[in-house]
């Protein structure tokens, strides 16, 4: 008996396929415009028109890139069919495990930046069995990470080169180690702790068999993980959707008068305050974090003595009165009940006119953005759940969170810089 296609298994109609192809062509043309602007502008445009063309290309890039991803993925899904797609999706952990293997044994650093290396020589340099080296790398080559230009030889491409960078390797190390292992315990942890929202009863705790929160575990049990986390934050702040440039464009830092005090809560190595200090030389900056978060910056001053680093646990009452408190990528680490504690700890030190700047994701409503863009946001949401029982929030949830911390805390402004995955939300105490 032949299998009858269910409604959800039907092939896309000709009109649907044509629509996807039109979307792909349109988005591809936008990316070609960007490429032309970056690579051939000096030959085709004079000095007066070049900047304008660059601006137009950059304006097209974020939306069109997501639209292109969405259309291409929809076309791939249609080609695979529902069963093949779902089974392939359920095996997404397998290429990630190959990446984990490559990062753990520093394979990218043993591949020359230019030229090739044999599997035999690569395995010898990494002190691992050649068959395992070959299998892991070939899985990644199939995912377009590394290349095998001739059988038995490996070379870098633009993706694998990121793994050879210290900060890139650190970021991918956390994603394929702490994040990967914790995410595999989402359901077991919910069962084990009856859906607890405490940061010490998260999937991470089950994966690493610890009663400490992830950050406490990193700092007291395995400090090398805390160092890797600092490098990861610097890596993500370097460019792209989480670039520190978006922090500068998300708030008018130049409007702060000389002597204004800004406290960066959970500021790690001070990468945020260095960026801010570069655009406003008159402010006084304080970076707070636990000892492991600060690393070598404890009780020191840098950047022409305008940034001070102090040890502080943001679950304890704030000790420094300030004009601005910055929480960048902090509150999404925690559940509502624990994020409220962090916010309440700020209030006793609040001065008249003080404000809280939160730079975090604002989850889109279903259907508000392309599926590719929404998927990026949901990936982060599941990641925060796995590590600390944290969560990403939509704008309504952010507003409610601050009302829980203090009825007078109101959202007064929100800016999402172009191309940024994060928004800057400004909260103040109102009468």
Q: According to the model, what pLDDT value does residue 49 have?
A: 31
Res. 65 pLDDT band, cuts 50 70 90: confident
Half-sphere exposure of 364 (CA within 13 A, CB side): 17
CB 387 within 8 A of CB 204: yes
The mean per-residue pLDDT over the stretch 156-168 comes to 96
Q: According to the model, what pLDDT value does residue 154 have?
A: 98
The mean per-residue pLDDT over the stretch 129-153 comes to 98
DSSP state of 115: S
Of 24-28, 71-75, 369-373, the range with the lowest mean pLDDT is 24-28
Task: Quote the mean pLDDT of the chain.
Answer: 88
Cα distance between residue 379 and residue 373, in whole Å: 10
93-164 under CATH 1.10.10.10, yes or no: yes
Cα distance between residue 315 and residue 319, in whole Å: 12
The mean per-residue pLDDT over the stretch 380-385 comes to 97
- What CA–CA distances, in Å, run from 298 to 113, 267, 303? 36, 12, 14
Instruction: Between 192 and 27, name the one with better pLDDT.
Output: 192
Res. 42 pLDDT band, cuts 50 70 90: very low
CB 104 within 8 A of CB 37: no
Residue with tokens 């793994």: 163
For the chain, the distance separating the N- and C-terminal CA atoms, rounded to the nearest angstrom, is: 73
Cα distance between residue 378 and residue 223, in whole Å: 29
Of 6-20, 161-175, 177-191, the range with the lowest mean pLDDT is 6-20
pLDDT for residue 91 is more than 90:
yes
Question: Under 8 Å CB-to-CB from 360, ≥6 apart: which residues?
Answer: 327, 328, 329, 330, 331, 332, 392, 393, 398, 422, 423, 425
Instruction: Between 419 and 109, name the one with better pLDDT.
Output: 109
As beta bridge partners, residue 153 has: 118
- 233-429 falls under which CATH superfamily? Vaccinia Virus protein VP39 (3.40.50.150)
Of 15-24, 78-87, 400-409, the range with the lowest mean pLDDT is 15-24
Q: According to the model, what pLDDT value does residue 133 have?
A: 98
Helices (H), 81-129: 82-89, 93-104, 119-126
The mean per-residue pLDDT over the stretch 136-160 comes to 97
Q: H or E element: which one contains 327?
A: strand 322-328
Instruction: Between 191 and 58, name the one with better pLDDT.
Output: 191
Q: Where are the domains of the chain?
A: 14-37+52-89, 93-164, 233-429
Residue with tokens 């296609």: 5
CB 371 within 8 A of CB 70: yes
- What the block records as the tokens of 219 is 């700092």
DSSP string of 198-261, one letter each residue: -TTSSHHHHHHT-SS-HHHHHHHT-HHHHHHHHHHHHHHTTSGGG-HHHHHHTS-GGGSPTT-E
pLDDT for residue 306 is more than 50:
yes
- What CA–CA distances, in Å, run from 421 to 70, 173, 416? 17, 22, 8
Cα distance between residue 215 and residue 228, in whole Å: 12
Res. 31 pLDDT band, cuts 50 70 90: low
Three-state DSSP class for residue 361? coil
The mean per-residue pLDDT over the stretch 158-162 comes to 96
Q: According to the model, what pLDDT value does residue 303 have?
A: 53
Res. 138 pLDDT band, cuts 50 70 90: very high
Please write down the long-range contacts of 89-96, taking CB distance under 8 Å and 24 or more positions apart.
Answer: 93/180, 93/184, 94/139, 95/139, 95/140, 95/142, 95/143, 96/176, 96/180
The mean per-residue pLDDT over the stretch 301-316 comes to 80
* Beta strand 322-328 pairing with 350-360: parallel
pLDDT (tens digit, 9 = 90+) per residue, 240-283?
888 999 999 999 999 999 999 999 999 988 889 999 999 999 99
Strands lying side by side in the sheet with 322-328 = 301-302, 307-311, 284-289, 261-265, 322-328, 350-360, 423-429, 409-415
- What CA–CA distances, in Å, run from 407 to 197, 399, 401, 403, 429? 23, 10, 10, 5, 9
The mean per-residue pLDDT over the stretch 193-220 comes to 96
Q: According to the model, what pLDDT value does residue 62 have?
A: 63
Q: According to the model, what pLDDT value does residue 19 have?
A: 81
Cα distance between residue 411 and residue 121, in whole Å: 58
pLDDT for residue 55 is more than 80:
no
- What the block records as the tokens of 4 is 């009858």
Q: What is the pTM of this model?
A: 0.85
Q: According to the model, what pLDDT value does residue 28 have?
A: 76
For residue 343, the tally of other CB atoms under 10 A from its CB is 21
The mean per-residue pLDDT over the stretch 66-79 comes to 85
The closest of 154, 173, 171, 165 to 109, measured between CA atoms, is 165
Res. 427 pLDDT band, cuts 50 70 90: very high
Q: According to the model, what pLDDT value does residue 35 have?
A: 59
Cα distance between residue 312 and residue 305, in whole Å: 20
């Amino acid at each position: 008996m032949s299998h009858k296609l269910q409604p959800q298994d039907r092939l896309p109609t000709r009109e649907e396929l044509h629509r996807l192809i039109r979307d792909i062509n349109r988005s591809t043309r936008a990316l070609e415009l960007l490429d032309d602007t970056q690579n051939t502008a000096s030959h085709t445009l004079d000095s007066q028109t070049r900047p304008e063309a660059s601006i137009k290309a950059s304006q097209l890039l974020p939306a069109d890139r997501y639209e292109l991803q969405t259309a291409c993925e929809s076309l791939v899904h249609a080609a695979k069919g529902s069963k093949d797609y779902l089974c392939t999706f359920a095996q997404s952990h397998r290429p990630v495990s190959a990446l984990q293997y490559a990062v753990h044994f520093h394979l990218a650093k043993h591949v020359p930046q230019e030229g090739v290396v044999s599997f035999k020589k690569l395995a010898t340099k990494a002190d691992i069995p050649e068959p395992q080296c070959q299998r892991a790398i070939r899985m990644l080559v199939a995912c377009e990470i590394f290349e095998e230009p001739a059988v038995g030889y490996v070379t870098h491409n633009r993706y694998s080169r990121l793994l050879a960078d210290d900060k890139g390797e650190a970021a991918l190390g956390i994603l394929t180690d702490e994040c990967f292992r914790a995410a595999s315990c989402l359901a077991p942890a919910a069962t084990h702790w009856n859906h607890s929202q405490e940061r010490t009863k998260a999937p991470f705790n089950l994966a690493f068999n610890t009663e400490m929160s992830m950050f406490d575990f990193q700092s007291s049990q395995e400090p090398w993980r805390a160092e890797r986390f600092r490098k990861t934050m610097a890596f993500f702040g370097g460019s792209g959707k989480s670039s520190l440039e978006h922090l500068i464009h998300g708030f008018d830092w130049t409007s702060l008068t000389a002597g204004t005090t800004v406290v960066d809560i959970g500021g790690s190595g001070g990468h945020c305050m260095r960026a801010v200090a570069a655009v406003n030389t008159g402010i006084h900056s304080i970076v707070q974090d636990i000892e492991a978060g600060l690393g070598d910056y404890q009780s020191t001053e840098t950047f022409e003595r305008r940034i001070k680093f102090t040890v502080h646990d943001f679950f304890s009452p704030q000790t420094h009165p300030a004009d601005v408190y910055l929480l960048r990528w902090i509150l999404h680490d925690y559940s509502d009940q624990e994020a409220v504690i962090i916010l309440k700890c700020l209030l006793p030190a609040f001065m008249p006119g003080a404000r809280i700047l939160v730079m975090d994701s604002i989850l889109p409503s279903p259907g508000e953005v392309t599926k590719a863009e929404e998927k990026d946001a949901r990936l982060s949401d599941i990641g925060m759940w796995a590590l600390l029982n944290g969560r990403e929030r939509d704008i309504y949830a952010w507003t409610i969170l601050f009302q829980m911390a203090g009825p007078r805390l109101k959202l007064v402004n929100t800016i999402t810089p172009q191309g940024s995955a994060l928004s800057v939300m400004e909260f103040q105490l109102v009468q």
